Amino acid sequence: MNNRSDFKILDQKVHNRPLIYFDNAATTQKPQIVIDAITNYYETINSNIHRGVHSLSQLATDQFEAARRTVQTFINAQHHHEVIFTRGTTESINLIASSFGKAFLQSGDEVLISEMEHHANIVPWQMICEEKGAKLKVIPFDFNGVLQVELLEQMITSKTKIVAITHISNVLGTINPIKKIIEVAHSKGVPVMIDGAQAISHEKVDVQALDCDFYCFSGHKMYAPMGIGVMYGKEEWLNKMPPYQGGGEMISQVTFEKTTYNELPFKFEAGTPSVGDVLGLMKAIEYINHIGIEQIAQYEHELLDYAMSQLNEIPEIQFYGLSPQKVAVISFNLGKIHPYDVGVILDHQGIAVRTGHHCAQPIMQKYQIPGTVRASFALYNTKEEIDAFIKALLQAKKMLE
């Protein structure tokens, strides 16, 4: 893809080497169109929204709500008020765990997650389960990183109140069969929440086709700013759930005796939102749509295949996550060399990868390793960068053995 010129940050050098950015699963870089949208907001229409009759407030409000409709179309939500703006996937999941848990979880109930979850989809559920006296149950994955979905039917019981599962693992790259998971859960009357942080920039997400009850994602992993995310929820569930935070915007009427809550989506959007970042998210979606999500996915898969064919030639390399259905995320170790040491040497070659447990310590515990080296690709990466990466890896292996 010839989009590198849209990302000025990629022109710089690190340790006098051209920057090779392979840490896209942590955060993607931002195209100039997104940066310009944020700058333009603060230079031309900076104002609080929904509350002002003056022109700037009305302009900002119109843009903010246009962004909500852009997200609605992007994920094919039935209603624009089913799109709730949050600070990111983590806040979205905390919102659901807290609000859903308060409304529907009781002592002895169960919440079902998977063994490959990011901490953001483990800890909030642990917290609400502890508060309510409920139990957290975990669907395992096999050594190749494939979720054992065949166990799902027997693991869902009459006490299961929600299934919360990742669409794509940030460590293993595994694409989970979430449509099948949703069908099984719904056949037993159980709602499903999907952590879509790693999926939203890699494949088309259609929440109506999936029939998920909740879907969460962050802007910063899809070429948008940090600090902005989305929590999609079906209208019927959002209407039943209590607000997550109290304050301005989420109210209808306040007296010292009683407060009534605002309609959707404002019921879940307390306080002043990050308007500039929401407009940045809108531009990022327009950018993805212009290129085509299918074209992005195809290109990233070509990079994945190219990288794997070369990495497989390295002696003693150990991969974590070899599902037939996966995205361009590669976790590996070089023999007994600590991943941190590999990461430091790669950085001195100008190559940015992620090392460590990737906020998924249970995965590391399963494989009995301290962490992995993770390389993850995006639309602006190239095969030439992968060649340089392989060369640097071989140097690192030679130095550290």
Domain boundary among 260, 289, 318: 289
Cβ atoms of 233 and 211 closer than 8 Å: no
**Whether residues 103 and 226 fall in one domain:** yes
Render each residue's pLDDT in the chain as its tens digit; 401 residues.
778 999 999 999 999 999 999 999 999 999 999 999 999 999 999 999 987 789 999 999 999 999 999 999 999 999 999 999 999 999 999 999 999 999 999 999 999 999 999 999 999 999 999 999 999 999 999 999 999 999 999 999 999 999 999 999 999 999 999 999 999 999 999 999 999 999 999 999 999 999 999 999 999 999 999 999 999 999 999 999 998 888 767 767 777 777 777 788 989 998 889 999 999 999 999 999 999 999 999 999 999 999 999 999 999 999 999 999 999 999 999 999 999 999 999 999 999 999 999 999 999 999 999 999 999 999 999 999 999 999 999 999 999 98
- Global model pTM greater than 0.85: yes
Cα–Cα distance, 241 to 94 (Å, whole number) = 13
> Do 210 and 321 sit in the same domain of this protein?
no
What are the φ and ψ backbone dihedral angles of 299, each rounded to 5 degrees? -65, -45
Do 325 and 271 share a structural domain? no
Bridge partner residues of 112 (DSSP): 137, 163
User: Which alpha helices (DSSP H) does 76-177 contain, by range?
Assistant: 89-104, 123-132, 152-155
Rounded to whole angstroms, how far apart are CA atoms 242 and 259? 12
Asked if residue 265 has a cis previous peptide bond (ω within 30° of 0), the answer is: yes
Considering the domain architecture, whether residues 210 and 354 belong to the same structural domain is answered as no
Q: Does 359 participate in catalysis according to the annotation?
A: yes
Do 93 and 235 belong to one domain?
Answer: yes
Domain around 17: 4-30+292-400
Looking at residue 251, what is its pLDDT? 65
Residue-level pLDDT at 9: 97
Query: Which two tokens mark 130?
Result: 């502890």
Question: Is 237 in the same domain as 296?
Answer: no
CA 240, 71, 166 angle in degrees (round to 5)? Answer: 70
Which of 227, 255, 289 represents a domain boundary (last residue)? 289
Same domain for 65 and 50: yes
Decide: 192 and 163 in contact? Cβ < 8 Å. Answer: yes
| Number of structural domains the chain divides into | 2
Residue 307 and residue 179 share a domain: no
Q: Looking at residue 53, what is its pLDDT? A: 83
Choice among 129, 212, 216, 359 that is catalytic: 359
Q: Which residues pair with 59 in a beta bridge?
A: none
pLDDT at 256: 74
Q: What CATH number does the domain containing 135 carry?
A: 3.40.640.10
Do 275 and 209 reside in the same domain of the chain?
A: yes
The answer to whether residues 363 and 322 belong to one domain is yes
Tokens linked to 399: 């130095």
CATH number, position 323: 3.90.1150.10
Q: Is residue 245 domain-shared with residue 381, that is, in the same domain?
A: no
285 and 386 in a common domain? no
Contacts of 294 (CB under 8 A, 6+ apart): 204
Nearest by Cα to 20 from 372, 394, 393? 393
Which among 289, 306, 338 is the end of a domain?
289
